[in-house]
Structure 1
Amino acid sequence: MLKYVKGPLESIDGVAIYPIISLLIFFIFFAALFFWVVTARKEYINEVSQLPLEKEEADQENSLDLTIN
């Protein structure tokens, strides 16, 4: 299977640069993501982590209000 992919690619000049570019994009993306996670404010992380719970609590309160009325 690999010979069908590798064979035609070997005939292209400069094809070796594409894996290097892919590796650089991968490394830069995850390095930037790691930097953002390390430098993120704890208050922001806590606020964002509570968003799904706040919505769930609000939905429960609304459903309780509807059943009481």
Structure 2
Amino acid sequence: MLKFVKNHMESIEGIASYPMISLLIFFVFFVLLFWWVFTATKAHIKEMEELPLDNDYHNQK
């Protein structure tokens, strides 16, 4: 089975670029995530932190 997959993958043109593209997407996602975490306001973080304990929010649904 593995031999079939390897032979099939080798027949696809440009397949070597897919791992690089996925690494780039992974890296960009986490860079943006870190940027958002470090630039988020303290008020927003506090609001999100208290959201699960807010009874008014749960009663509105």
TM-score bracket for the superposition, by shorter chain length: 0.7 to 0.9
Output the amino acid matched with 2:20.
I
Instruction: Give the corresponding residue for 1:66.
Output: none
Q: Report the TM-score, using the length of structure 2 for normalisation.
A: 0.79
The count of aligned residue pairs is 58
Structure 2 residue ranges without an equivalent (≥5) = none
Instruction: Give the corresponding residue for 2:31.
Output: 31
Spell out structure 1 runs of 4+ moving beyond 4 A.
Answer: none
Instruction: Give the corresponding residue for 2:50.
Output: 50
Q: Percent identity?
A: 57
CA separation of 1:2 and 1:55: change in aligned 2, threshold 3 A: farther
Output the amino acid matched with 1:21.
I
Q: Report the TM-score, using the length of structure 1 for normalisation.
A: 0.71
Measured against aligned partners, the alpha-carbon deviations of 1:16-68 in whole angstroms (never above 9, x if no partner) come to: 00111011001100110010001100111001110110128x76xxxxxxxxx
Q: What RMSD over aligned residues (CA atoms) do the two structures have, in Å? A: 1.8
Instruction: Give the corresponding residue for 2:14.
Output: 14
Question: 1:55 & 1:36 partners in 2: Cα distance?
Answer: 27
Query: In terms of Rg, which structure is larger?
Result: 1
Instruction: Give the corresponding residue for 1:41.
Output: 41
Question: 2:38 & 2:45 partners in 1: Cα distance?
Answer: 11
